[in-house]
Structure 1
Amino acid sequence: MTALDAVGPYEVLCRVPEASVVTVAKRVGPVRTDTGVLGLVADRALHQVRHADVLLVPGAGNRGVIAAMQDAETIDWVRRLHERTTWTTSVCTGALILGAAGLLHGVPATTYWASRSYMESTFGAIYTPGRFVESGKIITAAGVSAGIDMALHLVVLCYVVLLYGRLQVWHAPAMTVSSCCSSRSTA
């Protein structure tokens, strides 16, 4: 993974009250970023995470993205987790991993500019320029710093629902609204 693809959104999301951000990889422990210099720590292995409100898939250099797209366990996990998320998101070339999981066919999405044609021709995504693109429950960010913008947007989306639910309960205690930013984890 590219460090900023993961760390930028992490820095936003980990500061959200009531959110629990969990890092996930094939195995628990240190994972080297695509430069080979920086190591980030995976809190959980893929098989340990079966649901999340938010799934964020960071991009990587060519070798890392190709390896992830060809890894059946990773792609199956992304596909299965997506069924249970409120939001499935990606940063930069992480969109290609969503595409490999079959999540972008016919879906407006963005990615790293040099991956645009590949995303369209290989996965049937509808390339849409922008820092981030929201299409249903899928949000894709164009590049590393755009991932931070996407995370800020995600916080707004989640807190609008949370605030609405709290105000509704205050106004009409018999009614409740579930929150997309509950105490469940963000993978």
Structure 2
Amino acid sequence: MSCGVEAADRAPVAGLAAGATGHELLAHSRERGRVAPIMAFVPVDPDGAATQSLRAAGLRVTRPRRAVLAWLAEHPHATADEVGAGVREQLGSVSTQAVYDVLAACAEAGLLRRIEPAGHPARFERRVGDNHHHLVCRRCGRTEDVDCPVGVRPCLTPGDDRGFAVDEAEVVFWGLCPTCTTAQGSHDNEEARL
């Protein structure tokens, strides 16, 4: 199909309205006298980018892998728990272990970057082809990309590398995001009035 959605991504749904994508509705079936939800058509990798990335890396193309890569393309800097919740919305039941396995395999293959800001859970992103750094909010953990001013790796080198073959420097800029800065200002103003 031209949209990159494979037949395995679709579950036939009785009563699916013409033009409905499956995101908007769940159909139901009668199972032993109870109403049970049936998963509707939910595209896992609508543009096929995740499928292409997996194939180029020599990894098996599976629904969980495609769903994880596609979800992270839309939600960068997500934790494993956030990825798991997002993928479950698309696929239904996916184990936490399966999500961790997919994240590990894709990071090992260079399809994902794992970042670990001190004191915060590991986060994952699809932006892997360049040397960039991160801004991290000390209060809420919000993480944003910031381009490296040097551009090439490593952008910093130690004065004494002690024999290490340094190939990367990870720079994290810490501070408060705009939302937390505003909240901090409101809190400070409230305390000043007391």
- Give the TM-score range, shorter chain: under 0.3
Higher helix share: 1
Structure possessing the higher radius of gyration over alpha carbons: 2
With the length of structure 1 as denominator, give the TM-score of the two structures: 0.26
The structure whose RCO (Cα within 8 Å, separation 6+) is larger is 1
